[in-house]
């Protein structure tokens, strides 16, 4: 029996089951062949299309994909077989797209055969660390079990390390994570996420973690025109749109909101749109006998935006 040198789990079969092996699938020799077999290009194109801005992030993801594709081709020549270290760190302010990109990354890793399932398990400290002695190891192991075959996304990972607290169980979780990141890296990719400065401090105190992270990607804040484009894309995705005056009002809304504390980039945009949709619904709800057209039902008007508290001050 001949075992194919290279197979991508989950990739569409090009021939009937069983036939493949008998015919002997040739290992890929070109980038195009790996891309075609893995359908990774589709994920990269979607990433480009669906997400506004993030140019440096998209480029980094492409670079990592290129590395993995070339690695596959090297493997087909019997070169360096060791699994590349794929653990990553995504830094940036809230709402800059870290979780969203991590999900795409999981898909890419899956399509290229680096993880079996390609799902993403998103956790924070509380999911990993127990309150009492003996609780942390089982909690962490349970999460790892769920994430196996995919990506474990640890949001605000630095909270695992609390040096001010002598008896902190976070250290125990870190120990277990480090072991798994080393020994099971052929089936689990860990992505740490959080604010850049806190992550830097965390790595300084945890060199073991730092040395296991192969890729650091920084997510910049969005510029206001990008936030506007994100808003329009979100609305289109929900079959809503701005009336022209509403669009202008939202532009003004963003300018004001950006000056206020706790602005969370695309997340704040999503929340603002959710509230505007609520106001639109209440406005329409009040007009009991009017026939509501498709335009009525899909259009956010200026009032729906200007009623925000942001305009009050
Ligand atoms: N570049 C972007 N284009 C379109 N939508 C985006 C973009 N970045 C983030 N979003 C949306 O904003 C919301 C918050 O993004 P998320 O990935 O959760 O950010 P983070 O994990 O950095 O806090 C999600 O609904 C996401 O789909
Ligand atoms: Mg997030």
Q: What is the pTM of this model?
A: 0.87
Residues that place a CB less than 5 A from ion ligand 2: 99
Cα 210 to chain centroid distance, Å, stands at: 20
Under a CB-based contact definition with an 8 Å cutoff, are residues 72 and 34 in contact?
yes
Task: Return the percentage of the chain with pLDDT > 90, whole number.
Answer: 75
The confidence score (pLDDT) of residue 85 equals 87
The confidence score (pLDDT) of residue 295 equals 97
Number of neighbours of residue 295 by Cβ within 10 angstroms: 9
Across 71-83, b (16+ Cβ under 10 Å) vs e yields bbbebbeeeeeee
Stretch (H or E) spanning 143: helix 136-147
**Tokens 């060199």 -> residue:** 207
Digit-coded pLDDT (tens) for 7-47: 333 333 333 333 333 345 688 889 988 888 888 888 899 99
Instruction: Name 123's bridge partners.
Output: 154
- State yes or no: pLDDT of 291 exceeds 70: yes
Q: Is the CB of 270 under 6 A from ligand 1?
A: yes
Q: Is the CB of 97 under 6 A from ligand 1?
A: yes
Out of 8-12, 72-76, 96-100, least confident range: 8-12
Task: Return the percentage of the chain with pLDDT > 70, whole number.
Answer: 91
Digit-coded pLDDT (tens) for 187-213: 999 999 999 999 999 999 999 999 999
Ligand 1 centre distance from Cα of residue 155 (Å): 14
The confidence score (pLDDT) of residue 24 equals 58
The confidence score (pLDDT) of residue 163 equals 83
Mean per-residue pLDDT of the chain: 89
Burial class (CB in 10 A: 0-12, 13-18, 19+), 207: exposed
The confidence score (pLDDT) of residue 23 equals 47
CA 129, CA 123: separation in Å to the nearest integer?
A: 11
- State yes or no: pLDDT of 124 exceeds 90: yes
Token pair listed for 29 = 């020799």
Out of 9-23, 167-181, 263-277, least confident range: 9-23
Digit-coded pLDDT (tens) for 218-255: 999 999 999 999 999 999 999 999 999 999 999 999 99
How is the beta sheet containing 151-155 ordered, strand by strand? Answer: 120-123, 151-155, 189-194, 88-92, 215-219
Of 19-28, 103-112, 150-159, the range with the highest mean pLDDT is 150-159
Under a CB-based contact definition with an 8 Å cutoff, are residues 128 and 143 in contact?
yes
Under the banding of pLDDT at 50, 70 and 90, the label for residue 285 is very high
Q: Is the CB of 194 under 6 A from ligand 1?
A: no
CA 206, CA 212: separation in Å to the nearest integer?
A: 10
Residues in contact with 307: Cβ distance below 8 Å, sequence separation at least 6, in sequence order: 279
Mutate to test the pocket of ligand 1, among 100, 218, 231 (most ligand atoms within 8 A of CB): 100
Residues in contact with 79: Cβ distance below 8 Å, sequence separation at least 6, in sequence order: none
Of 56-65, 78-87, 155-164, 236-245, the range with the highest mean pLDDT is 236-245
Q: How many degrees, rounded to 5, is the angle at CA 247 between CA 241 and CA 249? A: 135
């Amino acid at each position: 029996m001949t075992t194919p040198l290279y197979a991508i789990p989950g990739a569409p079969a090009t021939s009937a089951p069983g036939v493949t092996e008998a015919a002997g699938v040739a290992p890929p020799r070109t980038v195009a062949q790996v891309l075609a077999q893995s359908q990774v290009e589709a994920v990269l194109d979607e990433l480009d299309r669906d997400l506004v801005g993030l140019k440096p992030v998209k480029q980094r993801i492409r670079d990592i994909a290129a590395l993995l594709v070339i690695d596959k081709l090297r493997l087909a020549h019997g070169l360096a077989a060791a699994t590349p270290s794929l653990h990553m760190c995504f830094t940036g302010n809230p709402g800059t797209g870290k979780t969203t990109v991590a999900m795409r990354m999981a898909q890419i890793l899956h399509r290229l055969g680096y993880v079996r399932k390609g799902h993403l398990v998103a956790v924070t400290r509380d999911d990993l660390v127990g309150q009492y002695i003996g609780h942390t190891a089982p909690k962490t192991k349970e999460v790892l079990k769920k994430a196996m075959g995919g990506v474990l996304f640890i949001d605000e990972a630095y909270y695992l390390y609390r040096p001010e607290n002598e008896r902190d169980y976070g250290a125990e979780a870190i120990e277990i994570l480090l072991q798994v990141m080393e020994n099971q890296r052929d089936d689990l990719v860990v992505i740490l996420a959080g604010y850049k400065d806190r992550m830097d401090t965390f790595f300084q105190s945890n060199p073991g973690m730092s040395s296991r992270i192969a890729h650091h990607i920084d997510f910049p804040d969005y510029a206001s025109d990008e936030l506007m484009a994100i808003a329009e894309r979100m609305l289109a995705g929900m079959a809503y749109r701005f009336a022209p005056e509403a669009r202008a009002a939202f532009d003004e809304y963003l300018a004001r909101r950006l000056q206020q504390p706790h602005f969370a980039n695309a997340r704040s945009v999503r929340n603002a749109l959710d509230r505007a949709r609520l106001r639109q619904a209440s406005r329409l709800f009040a007009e009991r006998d009017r026939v509501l057209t498709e335009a009525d039902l899909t259009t956010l008007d200026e009032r729906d935006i200007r009623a925000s508290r942001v305009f009050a001050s």
